Amino acid sequence: MKLYLDTAEINLIEKAVASGIISGVTTNPSLLAKAGQKDVAQTIKAICQLVDGPVSLEVIGLSKDEMVQEAKEYAQIDPRVVIKIPMIHEGLKAIKELKELGIKTNATLIFSTGQGLLAALAGADYISPFIGRLDDISAEGLDVVAELAQIFDLHGIESEIIAASIRHPRHVIGSALAGAHIATVPWKIVDQMVKHPLTDIGLEKFLADWEKMKNQN
């Protein structure tokens, strides 16, 4: 199981890279807008220089030709760039063509096992089920991850599952248990995973006892 950071904010990526816990980054148009970096190519290039792993960048075009044209441009930014393609009919055609061109793709906005299977069959290198958004509508996001993992394992499908739209630390654990290859998480979730009140209490006690011992006559 690998962790990617789901952000376009350089300062957060720097923090995550420093702790050695991430091996990639995913972005999307909303995350790039939130980061406020209008020069997308420059932002992605900077991210690629920080992270020695895949960096996903999403196309905006909605036709196969537009997606492929954008993908060719984005692929020139850095060898680490993976092209995010939305799971629509035109996206499947773009994934197929990009596979033939040797450009890696990440099929995004996946909300069903069927969508994930089709994207994998089209040739997507990564499949991104949005588990948080499924949970938001009282569906079971992790079930999609588990079914895709079982199908891919049964049939030797090599696409990797990136559990996305992670809402809390248990989504990360649940994705790992369900068989996701990767979870892409916001920094906030990383922070929540690090912290535990009993760790703080235990550390405080250790330090207090140490000080008590050092001050004994």
Please confirm, yes or no, whether 205 is among the known catalytic residues.
Answer: no
Catalytic residue, chosen from 2, 15, 84, 96, is 84
Nearest CA-CA partner of 128 in 143, 144, 139? 144
Chain positions 141 to 160 lying near ligand G3P, rule: CB under 6 A, are none
User: For ligand G3P, which residue of 111, 126, 130, 152 counts as binding (CB under 6 A)?
Assistant: 130
133 binds ligand G3P (CB under 6 A): yes
Residues 12-41 that bind ligand G3P (CB under 6 A): 26, 28, 31
Other residues' Cβ atoms within 10 Å of the Cβ of residue 217: 2
The least CB distance from residue 82 to ligand G3P, in Å, is 12
Residues linked to residue 77 through DSSP beta bridges, in sequence order = none
Q: Please state the closest distance from residue 156 (CB atom) to ligand G3P, in A.
A: 26
* Residue of 43, 159, 165, 175 interacting with ligand G3P (CB under 6 A): 165
| Helix extents (H) in the chain | 10-18, 29-35, 40-50, 64-75, 89-101, 113-122, 131-136, 141-155, 169-178, 187-194, 197-215
Number of residues that bind ligand G3P (CB under 6 A): 10
Whether the CB-CB separation of 45 and 51 falls below 8 Å is answered with: no
Of 57 and 77, the one with the shorter C-beta distance to ligand G3P is 57
Give the CA radius of gyration of the chain.
20
Round to the nearest angstrom and report the end-to-end CA distance of the chain.
51
Q: By the criterion CB under 6 A, which residues form the site for ligand G3P? A: 6, 26, 28, 31, 130, 132-133, 164-165, 184
Residues taking part in catalysis: 84
